[in-house]
Each structure stands twice: as C-alpha cells, then as structure tokens.
Structure 1
Amino acid sequence: MTQPPQGFGPPVPQYGQQYGPQYGQQNSQTYGVTPPPPPHPPTVQGPEFVAVDTRNAIAVDAEGVTLDMNGVQAEFPWPEIRSVHYRASPNGKALMLGVIHLDGHFYEAVVDAKPKARLTEWFAQLAWVLRHYRPMG
C-alpha cells in the first residue's frame, strides 16, 4: 500500500505513541484539581416496601428482606429465603413479618402501625412488592 502525499488524508498512526492527555488529566495538572472517580454502575432498581415504628423496621427491596429489631439488623438476600409470611398482630395494631431461611430458621419482626389504618396500606403495598420479587408459579 502506498502512502498518500504529505498533507493528504488522515495522519498515519504511530503505534505505541499516546495521543494527548487522557480525559480530565489536563485539568488536574493545570489547576490542581483531582478528576471525579468514574460513576458506579447503576444498582438494580425495583419496588420497595418499608415499614417503620419507633423501635423496629422492615424493608423489602430488590436485594431481599431486612429486619431491624431494636437496632439489631438481619439481612436476608433473596437466594437465601425459602418464604416470607406476614399478618396482623392479634390486637390488629401491628404488622408481623416472618422470613423462613433456606436452612429452616424462622425470623420475625413486628412493626406498630399508627394510625391503625396504615396497616391496611402496608398489606396492599407489601403484597404487591412480594409478588414482584417472589411470583407465585
């Protein structure tokens, strides 16, 4: 292959030679500013359920189920969960949610619903979120 005359066509690449500074490098050298780190890959987003009272909390999201009981957290990723069950407390004023781990252990959290009508809202939202992550086949 013949080379075009000097000044015609794109420049011929010189292998092993770096062309100019990398993105952000010029600013950091010129102005003493460190370029920001590259953005993290986006996390998987999906519906979430959160119920909180003054001592306890329950969260259900794309990662799994988290129970917080008096400041002690237990996290259960979906692959480690055999099943999730929920119901109203005997007095009808709290949400009781239980997680059965693959090894058969049962974990439960109770979150007070104030006002009491909030329990109905939680049941509707929780049912929808659980169906999203654990569809009945």
Structure 2
Amino acid sequence: MTDQPPPPPAVPPGFGPPPPSFAPGQAPYVQGPPQPPAPGPEFLAVDKHNSVVVDVSGVAFEMYDITVEFPWPEIRSVHYKASPNGKALMVAVVHVDGRVYECVVNAKPRELLQGWFAQLAWVLGYYRPTG
C-alpha cells in the first residue's frame, strides 16, 4: 500500500476555479445601465401659450412657460372634452390624491379639435387600457 492521498473528487460543472478566459476583477456577467422605456405613441396639442403632451412618461401640461408633469403612477384618471364654444381642448388629470389639474389648448383651425380627440383617445387607450 502506498501512502498517496485519494484523488480529488470530481467537480460538478459550474463549480471550481474560473475558466482561463476569466480575468480577475472582471465580472463574467455585466449588466449595463438601465435602459429607458421603449418608445410608445405620443399625443401633442399646442397653441400660442399652452400644450398637452401624453407619452410613455405620463401627462405634461405647459401653461405660459410653466410645466407640470404627471408620471403614470401618480395619475388616477385623465379626462378631456371640448370647451363650451367648441374651439379648445380641455384636459384634466386627476391625481391619485384626488387633486384635479386642468389645461386648455385652443384649436385653430377648429377642425383640428376632432383630430386631437381621435389621437388622444387612442394614446390614452394605449397607456391606460380600460378593462
């Protein structure tokens, strides 16, 4: 009998020393920086002083150079209608805490309003489907 140590046990795949191509200090799986959300449809209504934007981020109102942004997680609902005289788009955002914010954008020519309604309905349906 010889006094030799027993052979080392077989190492299951995935265990043991790193392969020769592995450089110290280099992670074998590197995750890159977070990527922005995939682009989706956008809605934009704008006049001389005001604008409404609906996109992947949420809803934004600009009124006389003041911008207010509402990310989707902060929005309970979005409502829109024509102004009483039929010349403007009225959009309201209901915040999750119940506060309501409104923006009015004049439609010139007036026929633009119907196009805005169709596009806004489609974009809101994309981001906030009902049912």
Q: TM-score, normalised by structure 2?
A: 0.74
Equivalent position of 1:132 in the other structure: 126
**How many equivalent pairs are there?**
107
Deviation digits for residues 80-128 of structure 1, max 9, x if unmatched?
0000000000000000000000000000000000000000000000000
Judging by fraction of residues, say which structure has more helix: 1
Is 1:117 aligned with 2:118? no
Calculate the aligned-residue CA RMSD, in Å. 2.3
Equivalent position of 1:99 in the other structure: 93
> 2: CA distance between counterparts of 1:125 and 1:78?
18
Is 1:45 aligned with 2:39? yes
Equivalent position of 1:85 in the other structure: 79
Q: Is the 8 A contact 2:37 2:56 kept in 1?
A: no
Structure 2 residue runs of 5 or longer lacking an equivalent are: 1-19, 25-31
How far residue 44 of structure 1 moved from its aligned partner, in angstroms, is: 2.0
> 2: CA distance between counterparts of 1:63 and 1:44?
10
How far residue 42 of structure 1 moved from its aligned partner, in angstroms, is: 4.9
How far residue 68 of structure 1 moved from its aligned partner, in angstroms, is: 0.5
> 1: CA distance between counterparts of 2:33 and 2:21?
32
Deviation digits for residues 38-80 of structure 1, max 9, x if unmatched?
9983542000000000000000001100001111111000000
Runs of at least 4 residues off by over 3 Å: 13-17, 38-43
